[in-house]
Amino acid sequence: MKTILLKMAGPLQSWGTRSHFETRHTDFYPSKSAMIGLLSACLGYKRDRQEDITALNELDFAVRIDRQGNLLRDYHTARKYKPNGDFERTYVTNRYYLEDAVFVVALGHTDTARMDTIEEAVKNPYFQPFMGRRSLPLTADFFLDSSEEGVLDALAAVPWQGHRRGPEPDFVQLPIYADAHLLPEKPKKMRRDRVLSFSQKERKFGYRPEARSRTELRLPAVSTEHDAFGAIGGDDVFDKS
C-alpha cells in the first residue's frame, strides 16, 4: 500500500460539484473528482484519455478538514455579444469560494508502482494543477509526504496544518470524509463526484458513497519568537547591527 498526502491551502479555493450556468457553487471540502482532475493534469492526461482518467476512480480517497474557512461570494457582471459582434445583454454571475481554508487529502492504492508514478507526476506536473479553478494556484508545500499506510492511518499521522489564532484548545477533533468502503461501520451518503468523463462536449459524473469519521490531534505550541531575517537565511546576507 502507498498513500500520498497533499495540502490544499491558500487565500481561496473552490470545489464545485453542482454548479450550473451563472451560479458557480463550491462544496465545503475537496471532491474526489477534483483530485482526479488535478492528478490527470499532473500526469499529462488530456480530456480525451477517458480510460486513463476514469481508472483514477480506483484510488482510495479521504480528506481531513484542518480549517473549514469561510464562504465567499464573488459578484460578477458580464456582457454577451451576438455572433455578428452586436451587444446582446448584460447578465449577472455569482461565484463562490472557500476563504482561508486548509485541507489534507490522502490518495492511495495497493499498486505501489502506480502510486510512485503519480507521486513523481505531482512533484513534476505536466500541466499546471490548481485548487478547483485556474485562478487558484497551489501553495509551495502542496506535496506533504508519502506513506506505506492506508489513507486513514496516514491522515491520522499528519500533524495539524493550520495556524493557531489566539487561544485555542490543545487538542482538536478534525472531520474526515472518505470513500465509504474505508469506513464500513459508518453511515454513508452519496456525493456526485465519481468521474465518468471530462470531455468538453459532455462532462459526466456519477455518485460515490462517502462516510464521515473524526481524528483527534494535538495542536502545536504557540511560539512568540520570530526572526524574519533568519527565516530567509539573512544571517549570511544582512548586517542586522
pLDDT exceeds cutoff 60 at 202: yes
What pLDDT digit, counting tens, does each position of 152-191 carry? Answer: 999 999 999 987 776 667 888 999 999 999 999 999 999 9
Q: What pLDDT shows up at residue 67? A: 94
Amino acid at 48: D
pLDDT exceeds cutoff 60 at 239: no
Closest Cα to residue 93, out of 35, 34, 180, 22?
Answer: 22
Of 13-27, 38-52, 70-84, give the lowest mean pLDDT range.
13-27
Q: What is the pTM of this model?
A: 0.86
Amino acid at 69: G
pLDDT exceeds cutoff 90 at 20: no
Of 34-38, 61-65, 215-219, 227-231, give the lowest mean pLDDT range.
227-231
- Rounded average pLDDT over 133-153: 94
- Rounded average pLDDT over 208-224: 86
SS3 183: coil
Q: What pLDDT shows up at residue 30? A: 97
Q: What is the DSSP string of 6-36?
A: EEEESSEE---SS-BTTEE---SS--HHHHH
Q: What pLDDT shows up at residue 226? A: 67
Q: What pLDDT shows up at residue 31? A: 97
How far apart (Å, rounded) are the C-alpha atoms in residues 63 and 189? 15
Domain ranges of the chain: 2-236
Q: What pLDDT shows up at residue 92? A: 86
Q: What pLDDT shows up at residue 116? A: 97
- Rounded average pLDDT over 184-213: 94
How far apart (Å, rounded) are the C-alpha atoms in residues 76 and 22? 9
How far apart (Å, rounded) are the C-alpha atoms in residues 33 and 204? 11
Burial, 148: exposed, middle or buried (Cβ in 10 Å; 0-12, 13-18, 19+)? exposed
Amino acid at 210: E
How far apart (Å, rounded) are the C-alpha atoms in residues 126 and 107? 19
State whether CATH 3.30.70.2660 applies to domain 2-236: yes
Highest mean pLDDT pick, 81-95, 124-138, 210-224: 124-138
pLDDT exceeds cutoff 70 at 241: no
What pLDDT digit, counting tens, does each position of 73-112 carry? Answer: 998 888 889 999 899 988 888 899 999 999 999 999 999 9
Tell me the sheet residues that pair with 137: 130
Q: What pLDDT shows up at residue 214? A: 95
- Rounded average pLDDT over 179-206: 94
